[in-house]
Protein backbone atom coordinates (compact mmCIF):
# COMPACT_ATOMS: atom_id res chain seq x y z
CA UNK A 1 0.00 0.00 0.00
CA UNK A 2 2.84 2.42 0.82
CA UNK A 3 4.51 1.62 -2.51
CA UNK A 4 1.23 2.35 -4.31
CA UNK A 5 0.88 5.68 -2.49
CA UNK A 6 4.40 6.68 -3.42
CA UNK A 7 3.90 5.61 -7.06
CA UNK A 8 0.73 7.68 -7.42
CA UNK A 9 2.32 10.76 -5.83
CA UNK A 10 5.47 10.43 -7.93
CA UNK A 11 3.41 10.02 -11.13
CA UNK A 12 1.33 13.11 -10.39
CA UNK A 13 4.39 15.25 -9.67
CA UNK A 14 6.17 13.98 -12.78
CA UNK A 15 3.11 14.68 -14.96
CA UNK A 16 2.81 18.20 -13.54
CA UNK A 17 6.48 18.99 -14.17
CA UNK A 18 6.32 17.55 -17.68
CA UNK A 19 3.29 19.72 -18.47
CA UNK A 20 5.07 22.84 -17.23
CA UNK A 21 8.19 22.13 -19.30
CA UNK A 22 6.14 21.55 -22.47
CA UNK A 23 4.15 24.73 -21.92
CA UNK A 24 7.32 26.77 -21.40
CA UNK A 25 8.82 25.44 -24.65
CA UNK A 26 5.84 26.55 -26.76
CA UNK A 27 4.82 29.81 -25.08
CA UNK A 28 6.94 32.76 -23.93
CA UNK A 29 4.16 34.12 -21.74
CA UNK A 30 3.85 30.81 -19.99
CA UNK A 31 7.62 30.78 -19.45
CA UNK A 32 7.33 34.10 -17.61
CA UNK A 33 4.27 33.12 -15.62
CA UNK A 34 5.52 29.68 -14.55
CA UNK A 35 8.16 30.88 -12.02
CA UNK A 36 5.60 33.19 -10.41
CA UNK A 37 3.01 30.44 -10.32
CA UNK A 38 5.55 27.98 -8.96
CA UNK A 39 6.55 30.36 -6.15
CA UNK A 40 2.91 30.96 -5.25
CA UNK A 41 2.08 27.27 -5.20
CA UNK A 42 5.18 26.45 -3.16
CA UNK A 43 4.27 29.09 -0.58
CA UNK A 44 0.63 27.98 -0.42
CA UNK A 45 1.45 24.27 -0.22
CA UNK A 46 4.56 24.45 1.97
CA UNK A 47 2.91 22.67 4.90
CA UNK A 48 1.63 19.89 2.64
CA UNK A 49 5.09 19.55 1.11
CA UNK A 50 6.61 19.35 4.61
CA UNK A 51 4.06 16.66 5.55
CA UNK A 52 4.91 14.73 2.38
CA UNK A 53 8.66 14.65 3.12
CA UNK A 54 8.03 14.00 6.84
CA UNK A 55 6.19 10.84 5.75
CA UNK A 56 9.43 9.43 4.34
CA UNK A 57 11.33 10.56 7.45
CA UNK A 58 8.86 8.57 9.58
CA UNK A 59 9.29 5.48 7.41
CA UNK A 60 13.08 5.65 6.99
CA UNK A 61 13.90 6.64 10.59
CA UNK A 62 11.30 4.29 12.09
CA UNK A 63 10.00 7.02 14.41
CA UNK A 64 6.75 5.11 14.75
CA UNK A 65 4.63 2.60 12.88
CA UNK A 66 1.02 1.32 13.03
CA UNK A 67 0.36 -0.27 16.41
CA UNK A 68 2.76 1.97 18.38
CA UNK A 69 1.53 4.14 21.24
CA UNK A 70 3.04 7.62 20.89
CA UNK A 71 2.88 11.09 22.37
CA UNK A 72 3.61 14.27 20.42
CA UNK A 73 3.29 17.42 22.52
CA UNK A 74 -0.09 17.18 24.26
CA UNK A 75 -1.39 14.53 21.84
CA UNK A 76 -1.27 10.88 22.86
CA UNK A 77 -2.64 7.91 20.96
CA UNK A 78 -2.22 4.56 19.22
CA UNK A 79 -1.03 4.80 15.61
CA UNK A 80 -3.63 3.33 13.27
CA UNK A 81 -2.37 4.53 9.88
CA UNK A 82 0.56 6.52 8.49
CA UNK A 83 -0.47 8.38 5.33
CA UNK A 84 1.33 10.73 2.96
CA UNK A 85 0.01 13.81 4.77
CA UNK A 86 -1.54 12.70 8.07
CA UNK A 87 -1.04 10.06 10.73
CA UNK A 88 -4.27 8.62 12.11
CA UNK A 89 -4.34 8.06 15.88
CA UNK A 90 -6.82 6.46 18.26
CA UNK A 91 -6.77 8.95 21.15
CA UNK A 92 -5.51 7.79 24.56
CA UNK A 93 -6.50 9.70 27.69
CA UNK A 94 -4.03 11.18 30.14
CA UNK A 95 -3.80 10.19 33.82
CA UNK A 96 -6.41 12.74 34.83
CA UNK A 97 -8.67 11.77 31.90
CA UNK A 98 -9.39 8.07 31.45
CA UNK A 99 -5.90 7.25 32.75
CA UNK A 100 -4.16 5.86 29.68
CA UNK A 101 -7.29 4.25 28.20
CA UNK A 102 -8.66 4.67 24.68
CA UNK A 103 -11.23 7.48 24.51
CA UNK A 104 -12.92 6.22 21.33
CA UNK A 105 -12.00 9.35 19.37
CA UNK A 106 -9.89 9.41 16.20
CA UNK A 107 -7.29 12.12 15.59
CA UNK A 108 -5.48 13.06 12.38
CA UNK A 109 -1.98 14.35 13.11
CA UNK A 110 -0.09 16.23 10.35
CA UNK A 111 3.16 14.40 9.62
CA UNK A 112 5.19 17.60 9.74
CA UNK A 113 5.00 17.72 13.57
CA UNK A 114 7.77 15.10 13.72
CA UNK A 115 10.13 17.64 12.14
CA UNK A 116 9.96 20.15 15.00
CA UNK A 117 8.54 18.29 18.03
CA UNK A 118 9.82 15.45 20.15
CA UNK A 119 8.01 12.15 19.64
CA UNK A 120 7.68 9.85 22.67
CA UNK A 121 7.19 6.25 21.53
CA UNK A 122 6.00 3.89 24.27
CA UNK A 123 6.39 0.85 21.99
CA UNK A 124 9.80 1.57 20.47
CA UNK A 125 12.29 -1.20 19.77
CA UNK A 126 15.35 -1.33 22.04
CA UNK A 127 18.96 -1.90 21.09
CA UNK A 128 20.74 -4.49 23.21
CA UNK A 129 24.23 -5.64 22.20
CA UNK A 130 23.84 -4.40 18.63
CA UNK A 131 20.44 -6.10 18.28
CA UNK A 132 17.04 -4.43 17.97
CA UNK A 133 14.36 -6.02 20.12
CA UNK A 134 10.68 -5.11 20.05
CA UNK A 135 9.17 -4.57 23.49
CA UNK A 136 5.87 -3.12 24.72
CA UNK A 137 6.97 -3.02 28.36
CA UNK A 138 7.67 0.12 30.35
CA UNK A 139 8.60 1.30 33.84
CA UNK A 140 5.84 2.93 35.91
CA UNK A 141 5.04 3.59 39.55
CA UNK A 142 2.12 3.32 41.97
CA UNK A 143 2.02 6.26 44.40
CA UNK A 144 0.25 5.77 47.72
CA UNK A 145 0.00 8.38 50.52
CA UNK A 146 0.24 7.39 54.20
CA UNK A 147 -0.07 9.57 57.28
CA UNK A 148 3.09 11.03 58.81
CA UNK A 149 2.62 8.99 62.01
CA UNK A 150 2.51 5.69 60.09
CA UNK A 151 5.19 3.03 60.34
CA UNK A 152 6.91 3.86 57.04
CA UNK A 153 9.18 0.82 57.19
CA UNK A 154 6.19 -1.51 57.44
CA UNK A 155 4.37 0.36 54.64
CA UNK A 156 7.35 0.05 52.28
CA UNK A 157 7.83 -3.63 53.12
CA UNK A 158 4.15 -4.28 52.43
CA UNK A 159 4.31 -2.54 49.05
CA UNK A 160 7.54 -4.37 48.18
CA UNK A 161 5.89 -7.72 48.93
CA UNK A 162 2.92 -6.85 46.74
CA UNK A 163 5.17 -5.74 43.88
CA UNK A 164 7.34 -8.83 44.20
CA UNK A 165 4.37 -11.20 43.93
CA UNK A 166 2.28 -9.28 41.38
CA UNK A 167 5.07 -8.10 39.07
CA UNK A 168 6.94 -11.39 38.82
CA UNK A 169 4.75 -12.56 35.92
CA UNK A 170 5.65 -9.53 33.81
CA UNK A 171 9.33 -9.67 34.79
CA UNK A 172 9.44 -13.28 33.65
CA UNK A 173 7.95 -12.26 30.31
CA UNK A 174 10.55 -9.51 29.99
CA UNK A 175 13.36 -11.96 30.72
CA UNK A 176 12.11 -14.09 27.83
CA UNK A 177 12.08 -11.09 25.48
CA UNK A 178 15.51 -9.82 26.53
CA UNK A 179 17.48 -13.02 26.86
CA UNK A 180 20.83 -11.47 25.89
CA UNK A 181 20.73 -8.43 28.15
CA UNK A 182 18.41 -5.74 29.50
CA UNK A 183 17.88 -2.11 28.49
CA UNK A 184 18.87 0.28 31.28
CA UNK A 185 15.35 0.79 32.65
CA UNK A 186 14.78 -2.97 32.93
CA UNK A 187 18.17 -3.44 34.58
CA UNK A 188 17.02 -1.02 37.26
CA UNK A 189 13.68 -2.79 37.57
CA UNK A 190 15.41 -6.11 38.23
CA UNK A 191 18.27 -5.00 40.48
CA UNK A 192 17.43 -1.50 41.78
CA UNK A 193 15.24 -0.36 44.68
CA UNK A 194 11.54 -0.98 44.02
CA UNK A 195 10.05 1.40 46.60
CA UNK A 196 10.98 5.05 47.16
CA UNK A 197 9.79 7.53 49.80
CA UNK A 198 8.79 11.16 49.27
CA UNK A 199 7.99 13.33 52.31
CA UNK A 200 5.51 16.22 52.13
CA UNK A 201 4.10 18.43 54.90
CA UNK A 202 0.74 16.62 55.08
CA UNK A 203 1.71 13.06 54.26
CA UNK A 204 4.40 10.61 53.18
CA UNK A 205 4.26 9.15 49.68
CA UNK A 206 5.54 5.64 49.11
CA UNK A 207 6.18 5.04 45.43
CA UNK A 208 6.48 1.49 44.14
CA UNK A 209 8.11 1.00 40.73
CA UNK A 210 7.02 -1.82 38.47
CA UNK A 211 7.31 -3.15 34.93
CA UNK A 212 4.15 -3.78 32.92
CA UNK A 213 2.91 -3.85 29.32
CA UNK A 214 2.12 -0.37 28.01
CA UNK A 215 -1.57 -1.09 27.51
CA UNK A 216 -2.07 -2.93 30.82
CA UNK A 217 -0.10 -0.76 33.21
CA UNK A 218 -3.16 1.21 34.34
CA UNK A 219 -5.07 -1.92 35.35
CA UNK A 220 -1.94 -3.35 36.99
CA UNK A 221 -1.44 -0.17 38.99
CA UNK A 222 -5.05 -0.34 40.19
CA UNK A 223 -4.55 -3.95 41.34
CA UNK A 224 -1.45 -3.01 43.33
CA UNK A 225 -3.16 -0.09 45.05
CA UNK A 226 -6.35 -2.06 45.78
CA UNK A 227 -4.35 -4.88 47.36
CA UNK A 228 -2.36 -2.41 49.47
CA UNK A 229 -5.55 -0.73 50.68
CA UNK A 230 -7.10 -4.09 51.61
CA UNK A 231 -4.07 -5.10 53.65
CA UNK A 232 -3.75 -1.82 55.58
CA UNK A 233 -7.48 -1.53 56.26
CA UNK A 234 -7.19 -3.33 59.61
CA UNK A 235 -3.64 -2.21 60.36
CA UNK A 236 -2.89 0.07 63.30
CA UNK A 237 0.64 0.86 62.12
CA UNK A 238 -0.09 2.10 58.59
CA UNK A 239 -2.82 4.66 58.07
CA UNK A 240 -3.97 6.77 55.16
CA UNK A 241 -4.14 10.58 55.53
CA UNK A 242 -7.43 11.91 56.89
CA UNK A 243 -7.75 14.26 53.89
CA UNK A 244 -6.83 13.28 50.34
CA UNK A 245 -3.58 15.06 49.39
CA UNK A 246 -2.71 16.38 45.98
CA UNK A 247 -0.75 13.93 43.78
CA UNK A 248 3.01 13.99 44.28
CA UNK A 249 5.02 15.53 41.47
> For position 68, which CATH number holds?
2.30.30.60
Instruction: Indicate whether 240 belongs to any domain.
Output: no
Same domain, 8 and 101: yes
Domain-located, residue 248: no
Residue 111 pLDDT > 80: yes
Q: Judge if 105 and 136 occupy the same domain.
A: no
**Which residues in 13-32 are b (16+ Cβ under 10 Å) and which e?**
eeeeeeeeeeebeeeeeeee
Convert the pLDDT of each residue in 43-80 to its tens digit.
456 677 788 888 888 888 888 888 888 888 888 888 98
Task: Give residue 131's pLDDT.
Answer: 55
Average per-residue pLDDT for the chain:
75
Q: What is the pLDDT of residue 3?
A: 47
Domain assignment of residue 71, given as a range: 2-121
Classify 162 in phi/psi space as left (phi over 0), alpha (psi -120 to 50) or beta. Answer: alpha
pLDDT tens digits along 185-243? 666 666 666 788 888 888 899 988 888 887 788 888 888 989 999 888 878 898 888 76
Pairing of strands 69-72, 75-82: antiparallel
pLDDT of residue 96: 46
* pLDDT at res. 60: 85
Of 121, 144, 177, which residue is a domain's last? Answer: 121
Q: Calculate what percentage of the chain has a pLDDT beyond 70.
A: 64
Number of domains in the chain: 2
Contacts of 56 (CB under 8 A, 6+ apart): none
Q: Both 9 and 106 in a single domain?
A: yes
Residue 244 lies in a domain: no
Amino acid sequence: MRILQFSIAFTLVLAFLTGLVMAMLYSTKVAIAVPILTFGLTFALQRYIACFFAYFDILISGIYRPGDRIRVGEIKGDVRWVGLIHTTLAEVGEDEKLGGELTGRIMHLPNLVVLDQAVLNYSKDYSVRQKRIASDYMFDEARIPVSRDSNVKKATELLEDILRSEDEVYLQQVREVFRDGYPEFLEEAVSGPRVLIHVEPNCIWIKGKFVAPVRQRNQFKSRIMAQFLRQVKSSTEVRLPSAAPFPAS
